[in-house]
């Protein structure tokens, strides 16, 4: 990364020192941006007696219908037990269903019910509204940069998974 030439430090200063500002700014913006964006859906979730964990599952099932449970476990990076509780809640509320896999009958493929689709769309609207206005304010070139930096934060072993999410829509 090019260091801005206008920084007024002695030429002997280490690159790490020069970068601290920019890193702290990134840490803080990520923290505030992420928490404030996700906060936008809390009310909608609370109306159904659900929490953010439920939304994360709902979101990725919406994104990749017929997702096997093992794939969702990798995406969320939580334990089977934690996910099990969340999925049971969603099934009890009639938002998520499973069907047995065809090529591997051990698998259960997850998909949303019509009510689940509706609910997820309603929550997505809150996210869309927040992100779209940030995109609009920043401009398309900034959005590209935003993506590029975030992609760089994803470890190589997870990158394929994220790209797979985005390829088929």
Which of 53, 127, 131, 134 touches DNA by CB under 7 A? Answer: 53
Neighbours of 169 (CB within 10 A): 6
Q: Is 156 in the site for its own copies (CB under 8 A)?
A: no
Minimum distance between the CB of residue 153 and its own copies, rounded to whole angstroms? Answer: 4
* Element spanning 150, H or E: helix 140-153
Among 7, 25, 34, 51, binds DNA (CB under 7 A): 51
Q: Pick the stretch among 12-20, 64-72, 86-94, 97-105 that binds its own copies (CB under 8 A).
A: 12-20
Based on the shown chain and the rule CB under 7 A, indicate whether residue 84 belongs to the binding site for DNA.
yes
- The CA–CA distances, whole Å, from 121 to 48, 66, 102 equal 14, 18, 28
Closest CA to 15 of 25, 29, 4: 4
* Count of residues of this chain found to bind DNA when the rule CB under 7 A is applied: 29
For 65, the enclosing helix (H) or strand (E) is none
Please state, in angstroms and rounded to a whole number, the distance separating the CA atoms of residues 27 and 32. Answer: 9
Nearer CB in complex with DNA: 44/68: 68
Distance CA 6, CA 2 (A): 11
List the single partner that 70 binds among DNA, its own copies, none, CB under 5 to 8 Å by kind.
DNA
Report residue 70 as tokens: 């093992």
Q: Any contact of residue 126 with DNA (CB under 7 A)? A: no
Q: Is 92 in the site for DNA (CB under 7 A)?
A: no
Binding mask 8-27 for DNA (x = CB under 7 A): --------------------
């Amino acid at each position: 990364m090019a260091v801005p030439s206008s920084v007024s430090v002695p030429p002997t200063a280490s690159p790490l020192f020069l970068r601290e500002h920019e890193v702290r700014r990134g840490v803080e913006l990520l923290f505030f941006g992420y928490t404030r964006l996700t906060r936008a859906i809390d009310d909608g979730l609370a109306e159904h007696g659900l929490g953010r964990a439920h939304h994360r599952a709902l979101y990725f099932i919406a994104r990749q219908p017929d997702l096997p449970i093992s794939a969702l476990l990798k995406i969320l990076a939580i334990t089977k037990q934690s996910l099990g509780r969340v999925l049971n809640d969603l099934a009890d509320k009639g938002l998520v269903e499973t069907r047995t896999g065809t090529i591997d009958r051990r698998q259960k493929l997850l998909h949303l019910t019509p009510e689940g689709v509706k609910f997820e769309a309603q929550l997505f609207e809150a996210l869309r509204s927040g992100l779209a206005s940030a995109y609009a304010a920043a401009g398309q070139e900034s959005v590209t940069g935003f993506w590029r930096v975030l992609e760089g934060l994803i470890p190589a072993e997870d990158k394929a998974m994220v790209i797979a999410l985005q390829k088929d829509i």
